[in-house]
Structure 1
Amino acid sequence: MIRSEAILAAAEGANPLVPNWWEVLVTAVGFAVLMFLVVKYIAPALENSYQNRVDAIEGGLEKAEKAQAEANALKADYEQQQQEGYAEANRVREEARTEGAQILAEAREKASAESARLVEQAQVQIAAERLQAETSLRTDVGALATTLASRIVGESLEDDARSQRVVDRFLEDLERNSTARTASGTAGVVE
């Protein structure tokens, strides 16, 4: 208790507004040491960390801007290639149309020429077959006419010259009758 009384007596005698110099000195030394540590070690570490963060952010922005520029360039390239592809496709399509029209025209021309050739060949063949049929018909009709005339007349018409005259007259009469029928049939159609 004596001690606490001495402290109380000393405390009662001290002015509370006047600082204790030993406390101020210890506090100032502690603050100076703490300030030295902060300035020497902590502040540079924080500044370094801050600078690294700023550099990382700015670098990230630069990278993002570069990536955006590259993306825009690639997009422009892609769009240009797409437009070139469309143009090429249109050109190929037009060439194919032109070529198709040309092939179609050539095919029509060939078909027309082939058709004309076939018609001409058929007409020649028909004419040859008609001539052959007429010749065969003349021979057959002549033989029949000679036989019929022989039966009607009662004489043999085996003489070639005489039988030829009879056949020729008969065929001429047939042709005249046929021509007259055709002309009268055509005149009836015209009227």
Structure 2
Amino acid sequence: MGNKNKLLPQQRKELLHTLKARFEKNMNRHKGIEWAKVHARLELTAEKLWSLNEMEDSGGEPDVADYDKKTGEYIFYDCAAESPKGRRSVCYDDEALEKRKEYKPKNSAVEMAAGMGIELLTEEQYRYLQSLQKAGENLDTKTSSWIKTPDAVRKLGGALFCDYRYGNIFVYHNGAESYYAARAFRGCVRV
């Protein structure tokens, strides 16, 4: 295992191989983007590679899903078919975790994402990610994913999550302290 925010050379090599293979297999997610340019950016950002490895290790299957023309950054999203297994059974944030008196989960989505160096997807990003999927291959058809919740909702004790059912993307609310075996979170990282 590598040091905090740094991968060992073999880990780097394996991760880059995995990312390239996934990139080539899923061209529908990044039309007009060349792997050579993505690879060049990745080689310059050891900390971002560490974050991508955290996404991979927790079952997120990160892949390039967007490009920011203003900043020149490639944006990797968690593209696993279902919410990442290594991030399930978490409440929304640390405030919610502290409010639980019994049966506390081990962590919160917001804290885990921060520890991984990634951001929770917004509702807009979640919908965008779903739009990139091939017909019949929607995400979260059996699970759900916490999304970044607006402050006004969070101040009232709630948090938002999304899933895909009945041919539609649904946005729901729950108490922020709730957690379920089939709910995790999807994140993104800019490289």
Band the TM-score falls in, shorter-chain normalisation: under 0.3
Larger Rg: 1
Give the number of the structure whose residues are more often helix, by fraction.
1
Give the number of the structure whose residues are more often strand, by fraction.
2
Q: Which has the higher contact order (CA 8 A, sep 6+)?
A: 2
